[in-house]
Structure 1
Amino acid sequence: MTHRVGILGATGAVGQRFIQLLDGHPRFEIACLTASESSAGEPYREAAKWRLDSAIPEAVRDSTVRETDPSAIPDDVDLLFSSLPSGVAAEIEPDLCEAGYVVSSNSSNDRMAEDVPLTIPEINPGHLDLIEVQRDERGWDGALVKNPNCSTITMVPTLAALDEFGLERVQASTLQAVSGAGYSGVTSMEIIDNAIPHIGGEEEKMETESRKLLGEFDGAELSLHSAEVDASCNRIPTIDGHLENVFAELADDPEPAAVREAMESFPSADLPSSPDQLIHVFGDDQPERPQPRMDRMRGDGMQVVAGGVQSTAAGVKYNCLAHNTIRGAAGASLLNGELLAEEGWI
């Protein structure tokens, strides 16, 4: 079955990734593109300053951009993908849900709301059942589902694999690409020959979202994972691909080989955009990997890559990497949309 979908904020960096990933999708057909009021009424090819290294798909080049408003979205659209700025999304997404639309959103608002599923399909697909709680509490027929922050989604799959060893505490330091801030988010004078040891709000997102993703849902409410998470987030002059150094304290004392095996064997999801293997792990013979330029496009940009696994006094340390605008943003929302369709929520 083919579902008609819309993209909110289609002209931005993540919106462009949505269009790229949805081109030729086996289950989703783009039926609606929205942007700001200033772009409404223009053909997409003129409204969007296309930044990706592939051409604008022919299917949307001449599509008329609509205003981001429930009244402007066709009634036969089954699913909306949102890449709106969080301030805008906080106002508009509830209106869309009240109008009956299902929204799979990359925007940061409401990620930690108690009745909003924050979902990575390979990690916590059962959290989608929060939709029933959400509909009861908010009185709408639509649904709002979130994917986590791009730095969170890089780390959490590896933590989920480690949870079998008794995950107790996590410390992480990130080296994040400039695309995570959007096209105009970091100026060249700020980042060339430099590194910025602060990204506003990023540390809190990693520390809270990780625990929600790894938490337990009992059918009525969700409890956060008990592990403590501390993060330090840094911007570096790479274009795409967030690299993270992770130190995990564990109740057990696994050998590095057992940790690598747990990561490599952690199951992927059976969805059209899922990578065949969720986590690729480099062995001891390649301690210098993963690297952003070399490894961000593994699994078409949807795979998490880990390496440098070593024992510590309290557990293990390792590095992990993912493509921040594919796996960490548009691709994450796309996977959630595929899960929503698979589970019959749309």
Structure 2
Amino acid sequence: MKKVAILGATGLVGQRFIQLLQNHPYFEIVALCASDNSAGLKYAQAARWKLDIPIPSKIAEMVVRPCKPDIDCDYVFSALPSDVAGPIEDEFRKAGYTIFSNAASHRLDEDVPLVVPEVNLDHLELVKHQKGPGKLVTNPNCSTIGLVMALKPIMDNFGIESVTVVTMQAISGAGYPGVASLDILDNVIPFIKNEEEKMMIEPKKILGKVVENKIEYAKFDIVAQCNRVPVQDGHLLSVFVETSLKASTEKIIKAFEEFNPIKHMNLPTAPEKPLIYLEGVDVPQPKLHRNLGNGMSVSVGRIVQINERKFRFLALVHNTIRGAAGCAILNAEAYKHLYE
């Protein structure tokens, strides 16, 4: 059993880490870390718990620690906000810890893998070439995860020339307290800071290939427009893709349904089906489908052929499970399976 610590444990993503790590067969939480304002308090006092399950009793009584690299643990999960994550993760890395981060701070660093295990598991090998005693693995932006999982089987079978994506992103993606109620109720906010930039560059790294211990980014263009909508959980993506080879809706659906490249690894957090194609004219929907595969499956639907190489479809990802904590945990499971 690996002992793990959670940085940023009191926030929404930190709470998801706690939920998903309960009774985990590989990992045991031994430390919860947060800001100086929370350090020294019992977790139940420090956290404004927002999940629809009770705080686990053992967790509730744990005393929150500061984010300092003096913890007796094997792995560190980072749910820190990106504006503070960088230097804190650097401290832990220099102290020899293995970190699995949900933060954006180091995602585009040349020697840091940006991983969704079903999509680019081979990128984990970059950790072998990281300098210093510690290791750092990151997972992408929440919407990016849903996008690349849907694009990967298309790319593998038909190639990709260009992608356009419009997102409708849940309010939980903004953290707590997040978006002011007077701004989001009865409204859509057509701007999320840095989101479009992330969605236009991160997929190119993820869908790129390892060449001489570096990532050669994918060559196709991505255009993104991101919107905040009054939904609690679940990011819905409207995707337009131009393929390199001729394709059909039937062939793309078949590629979606057959996509399961890490099934043989039997990782605890991996869903039975990473992609679930839904038949119907009005699916997927966040309220109905965000929890498929325990929140780890990406659901796709409404695929329409525009011409022999252009298609559009919808994809839905649970932004705080598959799109955040769940992906980081799956990365840690894959890392343990491959390297320890």
Match of 1:53 in 2: 52
Match of 1:159 in 2: 151
Identity %: 44
Match of 1:81 in 2: 77
Match of 2:133 in 1: 141
- Secondary structure, in 3 states, of the residue corresponding to 1:307? strand
- Secondary structure, in 3 states, of the residue corresponding to 1:29? strand
Q: Which residue among 311, 334, 339 is the counterpart of 1:339? A: 334
Say whether residues 1:207 and 2:186 are aligned partners: no
Match of 2:122 in 1: 126
CA RMSD of aligned residues (A): 1.0
Say whether residues 1:191 and 2:190 are aligned partners: no
Q: Tell me the amino acid that sits aligned with residue 39 of structure 2.
A: A
- Secondary structure, in 3 states, of the residue corresponding to 1:6? strand
Displacement of 1:59 in angstroms is 2.4
CA distance in 1 between partners of 2:261 and 2:33 (Å): 32
Displacement of 1:219 in angstroms is 4.3
Q: Which residue among 135, 139, 142 is the counterpart of 1:150? A: 142
Displacement of 1:254 in angstroms is 1.1
Match of 2:13 in 1: 14
Q: Tell me the amino acid that sits aligned with residue 324 of structure 1.
A: N
Displacement of 1:210 in angstroms is 0.4
- Given that residues 180 and 325 in structure 1 are in contact (C-alpha distance below 8 angstroms), is that contact kept between their aligned partners in structure 2? yes
Match of 1:4 in 2: 3
Q: Which residue among 312, 316, 324 is the counterpart of 1:321? A: 316
- Single out whichever of 266-275 and 245-254 deviates more from structure 2: 266-275
With the length of structure 1 as denominator, give the TM-score of the two structures.
0.95
CA distance in 2 between partners of 1:268 and 1:282 (Å): 20
Match of 1:249 in 2: 242
CA distance in 1 between partners of 2:125 and 2:159 (Å): 26
CA distance in 2 between partners of 1:36 and 1:44 (Å): 12
- Secondary structure, in 3 states, of the residue corresponding to 1:49? coil
Say whether residues 1:44 and 2:56 are aligned partners: no
CA distance in 1 between partners of 2:235 and 2:138 (Å): 20
Say whether residues 1:273 and 2:273 are aligned partners: no
- Given that residues 105 and 333 in structure 1 are in contact (C-alpha distance below 8 angstroms), is that contact kept between their aligned partners in structure 2? yes
CA distance in 1 between partners of 2:141 and 2:298 (Å): 14
- Given that residues 268 and 275 in structure 1 are in contact (C-alpha distance below 8 angstroms), is that contact kept between their aligned partners in structure 2? no
Displacement of 1:268 in angstroms is 4.7
Q: Which residue among 176, 181, 193 is the counterpart of 2:174? A: 181
Q: Which residue among 289, 296, 307 is the counterpart of 2:301? A: 307
CA distance in 2 between partners of 1:343 and 1:268 (Å): 15
- Given that residues 45 and 62 in structure 1 are in contact (C-alpha distance below 8 angstroms), is that contact kept between their aligned partners in structure 2? yes
Displacement of 1:70 in angstroms is 1.1
Say whether residues 1:228 and 2:228 are aligned partners: no
CA distance in 2 between partners of 1:219 and 1:3 (Å): 32
- Given that residues 44 and 62 in structure 1 are in contact (C-alpha distance below 8 angstroms), is that contact kept between their aligned partners in structure 2? yes
- Report how many residues are paired: 335
CA distance in 2 between partners of 1:58 and 1:244 (Å): 37
Displacement of 1:218 in angstroms is 2.6
Structure 2's unaligned 5+ residue stretches are none
Displacement of 1:38 in angstroms is 1.2
Displacement of 1:166 in angstroms is 1.4
CA distance in 1 between partners of 2:83 and 2:172 (Å): 19
- Given that residues 115 and 130 in structure 1 are in contact (C-alpha distance below 8 angstroms), is that contact kept between their aligned partners in structure 2? yes
With the length of structure 2 as denominator, give the TM-score of the two structures.
0.97
Q: Tell me the amino acid that sits aligned with residue 270 of structure 2.
A: S
Residues 68-87 of structure 1: CA deviation (Å, up to 9, x unaligned)? 0113x22xx00000001112
Residues 244-291 of structure 1: CA deviation (Å, up to 9, x unaligned)? 0000001122110111110111115331100001100013xx121000
Structure 1's unaligned 5+ residue stretches are none
